[in-house]
Structure 1
């Protein structure tokens, strides 16, 4: 009985949609100036009327099965009825305003509707809301998909841009908008790859909006990769115009559906740092196409991008470009970053430590694979340090590596961030001798770059020593590991993992495995060669403390009683 009731209700939904669309068009014919946006939305709503007729036929067939679970039909019906109610209310609102007036008053009101933008915007928003509800209702019912071969009829029609043929396949239940190929690519992937703007628009209207924000993986890529890796790709149907024109039109369409905040899209930048790519050119392409407000938006978003890029970017010039169009760094940028607890000084410290360690680490490079460190990274450190105040150079904040790094979240000054960057690059398989070589050489390079920027190493060292003794000895100890377990890190896409650079990751073993270290002391001086960090693995430090406690000989006071 419930299924039968759903069948009748879906027939009513389809009929009501047709009536509302027809009445809306007749009302706007009085004004003789139906906006293009309204016509597009009404056409989309009309398409959903056809799709709900399909649900009628489908429910008739499904109703014969005694084990049919019709909960999805109930949810779809409820959402669809809400959409139709909203649409019906809108039509009645316009109709009542027009029909109650006669003669000259009616003509004047029609003219006001035609020219009053805020009223038009209000009607358009309500129409869009009705369309969204219909999309949701259809999506809830068809939330499953089939795996189809690449030569299937639905994929061929999508690539050919045959909208009528695609809708017919949906109507006859030979295909679903949510079908995918054996690699996980959706119909929207195929439409975009073939540069079929109208087909992309149709599929998005049918509920494939989620395909725009799918995470990249080894199975299928983020949809935007089509516009990043193959920006000038051409096909046989699109030779009459420039390939770039087709891409831009579809990118604009996708922008209208993407409702992710700018900060989320900034994180997507780093999905295009592929291990097989030579440089960072794909990151720049994504920024140009999908982040049009990148430089005009909040500076905090660019600071976060700079911080994340400091761990993995290939070139310092690309990292600079994430901050400003002219790649310049001002004192106000550095000060603001310190206040926002996303310090540029910490970021360049991480960048230097994670790359300079490569000079001392003993691993065999591949053919034509050079060192990831270059003098340009030292120049970046000097550039930031030259416009930094002492407060910026000694600012204490929490730094969170990417989720793939085995290093825990640490809290300390930029000097600690240099050590943290080194530990992000060293493997747990190499000996502590190599750890120490990498840490000492990176620290000395750091203070050398500060000296080049005009920093007095004596003054800098005294303040760092005081902060170390007071607050930072345990920045990378077992307590830091425990703290990290309660913090969600930014997740790096599969293809971005830096295997090409030999960087060890938590993918290699237990994600909780890290050897905590204890920073014991800091030797400083006016020359970079005077600087040395005294550190030890925490288990050795704890053993030392234990034996000191056990082997301590109590000094007896002369003349006191001694127990044997």
Structure 2
């Protein structure tokens, strides 16, 4: 074998072999014209062998590249290719010598240049053998070339991008252009002036370095992760393959196709360690998004790490945190998440014992049901209800600050808050979380009321339209949906009235908004988020002021105070940014002690065009568009 490997590594030797085959083919073609009874298949064999000589010429040209010769030096397939080619050359040479001997004067042939029938058949068989040997030689060479192709690509990249490769090999990964590093810090809690100043930061932080090459080179990614726990730093180095989010593997996980997923694993088309290339999510993220406990159980048994994080810059990027954060997103029906939670809970080893740990931990991202929150609270913070009340209120505010709503949310907030009485200074505690710079529980609940009122207003609009068309207001499913929306709106209002009874300030300005403007922001946001044409804000406003009036609010004084804050510029006039619209601005509102007298004026989309017109009027035009220039 060593001798053959050395032979194939020599381009000169292979060139001589190719020349030998070519010479034999020329001899064979010359003899062909002297064989008068040659069959047609013999002619085709000679032509095919001649074509293979051209392929051998291409191989000989390839082997003039020193990089390819070095790469093929230890290839057993390259050695086998040379062996087949050499055997074919020897057989072809022997065949040509025999033909020359038979065709010379006095040779072994009949008169008139005719060969015996058996002689021609043996000639065809020998040529077919040569053909098979040349074919095997070419196939072995192709297989050898495929095996060394990655090595050749790496050599070419090293030549073209030498400075970058050197930096990746010898410098720290955090400073290389292709590495990804981030440090995650929890958010701080900012109290209002009535509380002592304090800054809350979690004790836990993490680092992540990720190194990957272009997908056309390899789908493999290398990752170094460090997490600070109570007993010190924990470091993990791992590698995994990246897949597309629309791949068959992800589809099987999302649809709960356990048998299909098992087949993919068995055929090695997928593995439990695969991660999606755009997010870095493991398959567990897509299993719990569909709340499929059987898929989660199977993936955990196959070795998927539930503690792996995605590439997001927020703390809910582990499988369990993502599950509780999504909760019942975009679904009013409460999904039963406990089976999935029980499977993923062992992946979180933290026990929260201080307010700092609670506010930086998983409880602050919870959006499940009240029953599921109590399960989580017992798992991660047994002393939660023994902590100061402002901690529970901060957790409730963060749970309410999400962009979605569900029928169980008011009950969840009450469960988090715990027993009354609730102190107003704690209820008005300002906190920041995720994309919210400033918020309070009062403002968040006011936004939820606005959103639920918008959903109710849309259903009432659909009911009125159905009645005008001669219908009975909708089907049983529609009536069920309407009653659920009404119950959710009433539950949020009942919770807000309890806050009023606790003595909260209805004119507390946070982030340029009072609870009144927060209600409008939630109302507008719901229409924009659901892509619907907004309407009925006067009806919604009158319904809400009626509800707060039943809670003991003097509407006359309430309206006067809101009007003063608005006119003095102490509150924002731009309530919400709408897609394809711009800022929705409050132009003015009327108020009185009677709810039916309350009206609201919002900016129209054409207002921006009017502003542009008056700006053009105030700035004299030096030249009319299209006019001839002054000379």
TM-score of the two chains, using structure 1 as the length reference: 0.47
Whose Rg is larger? 2
More helix by share: 1
TM-score of the two chains, using structure 2 as the length reference: 0.42
More strand by share: 2
